Every structure is written in structure tokens, then in C-alpha cells.
Amino acid sequence: MTTEPFLRAAGFGAATRTPLPQDAGHRRYTRLSGAVPRPALLMDCADAPRVGLTPERDLLPFLAVGAHLRTLGLSAPEVLAEDRAAGLLLVEDLGPDTHASLLDAGADPLPLYVAAAEALAAIHAAPPPAGLPDYEAPRMTEMAGLTFLDWWWPAAFGTPPADAVRAEFTQAMRAMLDPFQGAHGFVHRDYFPANLIPLPDRAGPRRVGIIDFQDAGYGHPSYDLVSLTQDARRDVAPDVRQAAVAAYLAARPGLDAAAFAAATAAMAAQRHLRIASLWVRLARRDGKPRYLQHGPRCWALLDEALRHEATAPLRRFLDRHVPPDLRRNPAVLKDAAA
């Protein structure tokens, strides 16, 4: 079924269609309004083969994770219609605003971040659904290497890293992350303001709409708190970060705060190194140099994380191979984001 018959069959054939800007991913979204039964979004996964998936396989995680979040009473979009073979979904439109757009417009960040942290705590307090992909130390190490070693390193040094460097990096990353494997659970993996929607008419954790959750995995919950409070795409004031972390910990009183802080530093170091290097891949491979503007923030956040003793193995590796004056966008790309 193509898009037109799908929309007609669902009662949205006469909708006004507004394509939404594409981010770094491959899915396309269209806002449907006007002559429609209710506001909705069309998700089109037809481009899934570009990342090695069939359209149907691309939809399955979104459907499973969304159902899990709704079962917890949280605000994930309701599915209105689906054609799995074609990679098409019609989902509830939670609204045009995101926490990111409100922040950009000058909204007070404190209540938005506290609400987001409380919703995140509700997600993490529940048992995770079965079948989530692993995002533990081995996978996190692999993912970091795929951007840092395969893209940032050649751009910075003009040649790929030697096998001995790769092995040393793996050893350092595992030594940092392995202590925090264990009693983990659901990890959204992209829990930040652009993926959160204000729903002031709803109560409690439901007042935060949650989207872009299809890449969720099984790992350490502090990873999501890093995504929220140490955002790769925007600065978060220290008092706002502290308030969000405090709200999260207050909602989960059984956590050991010191152990959670150590895990947070390790997850932050992995995430910031991986994403600082991801911007290089997006610029060089995908022709999206605009993301390089976020490089300085990611490197600064990495340096902050490296001050914690829990990150010592990675800090020692970087001190040997990537001294502080090289922790930045590669010089070869210095004009690419202009």
C-alpha cells in the first residue's frame, strides 16, 4: 500500500500535509491537519533500507516500545493506523511544540527539566519490556569506536588508528564501563528536549509527551539522565541540571546517589566522546556539516566527565593519544559548519 491509499483508508485522505524537518535519522514525518478525524502524524519508514532494515522491521521497535510506555501510563503517541509492510504508521499528534522549541522561545527551563526528570524516573522505576537490544559495556564500547576511531581519528590525524590503539581504546572503555553493568533497565537513549512534548492538560508524568523512543535499549539508567541534563545540542545551566538530577533521585529513593553519580560520569564520557565524533561522521559521510557547531559543547562536557575518578581509564587513554588541545573538531573541518 502506498501513502495515498493508506491515508484514505484511515480517513485522512483530505488532510493538509506539512512535512517536518528531517533530523540526523532516516525516517520522514508529515503533520496531518485540516479535514481529519484528529490531528495526526504520518511516519514513513520507506527509507529504512538505507540503514540495512526492511520498512516493517524498522517499525517494530517503535510499536513495541510505544506500547510499553503507554502501559506504564506515560504519554507515548497512540497508534491510529499501520501498514507494516510499507513501513507506514499514523500516530497521535501530541502537538507542535517540544521542550526544545519552548526553550528556544525563552521559556523557563527549570519546570521543563524537572518534569522531564520525573517522567524519566517513572520509566526507569518500572521493569523493562522483554526483547530490548543490549546497550551494556560491550555495545557501548563498539558504538563509541564506530564514530571516534572510524571517523574522528582519521579526520584529526589523517590516518586510521593502529590496531594497537584500537585494542587499547577497547580496553580503556571497558575498564570504565564494566563496573556499572548489572541491575539495569530501560534506556531511551535520546531523552532530550527535542524529543519531549509539553502536555499541560495531563497530570503527573503524563504531562511530558515522549517520542523518538524506537532505539531504546537495556542499559544503565544514568545514560538517559546524561542525555537530558548534559545535552549535546544545547547548554543546560548548572542550577537547572542540579534540580533535574535532584528531582530524578527524589523520585527513586532506593538508588545509591554516590554510585549513581559515578555511573553518570562514565556514561557521560562515553556519550560525549561518541557524539562529538558522530558530528564528524555526519559532516563527512552524510553532508550535514551543521552538526559540527555542537562539537565544542560535547568536548567540553567530555572534559567535565573526565574529572571524575570513575572515568580514569578513558582519561589515561586520551591523555596518551589525544591531549586536551586536540579534543575538538578536526582542523580539516574547521570551516565546514560555516
pLDDT band at 24 (very low <50, low <70, confident <90, very high): low
Tell whether 224 and 154 lie within a shared domain.
Answer: yes
Interatomic CA distance for residues 94 and 152, integer angstroms: 37
Which stretches of 238-278 are assigned E, i.e. beta strand?
A: none
- Say if residues 314 and 273 touch (Cβ distance below 8 Å): yes
For the stretch 128-156, pLDDT in tens is 999 999 999 999 999 999 999 999 999 99
Grid coordinates belonging to 221: 539508567
Among 282, 300, 301, which residue's Cα sits nearest to residue 152? 282
DSSP at 178? G
Tell which of 92, 116, 147 closes a domain. 92
Q: Are residues 322 and 203 in the same domain?
A: yes
Place of cell 527549570: 110
pLDDT band at 183 (very low <50, low <70, confident <90, very high): low
Digit-coded pLDDT (tens) for 225-241: 999 999 999 999 999 99
CB hemisphere CA count around 215 (13 angstroms) = 10
Give the domain range for residue 192. 99-333
* Predicted local distance difference test score (pLDDT) of residue 93: 96
When comparing pLDDT for 320 and 2, which is higher? 320
Cβ neighbours of residue 6 closer than 8 Å, sequence gap 6 or more: 81, 83, 86, 88, 90
Q: Give yes or no: residues 13 and 61 share one domain.
A: yes
State pLDDT tens for residues 74-124. 999 999 999 999 999 999 999 999 999 999 999 999 999 999 999 999 999
Distance CA 176, CA 261 (A): 14
Q: Are residues 119 and 41 in the same domain?
A: no
Above pLDDT 90, what percent of the chain? 89
Q: Would residue 338 count as lying in a domain?
A: no
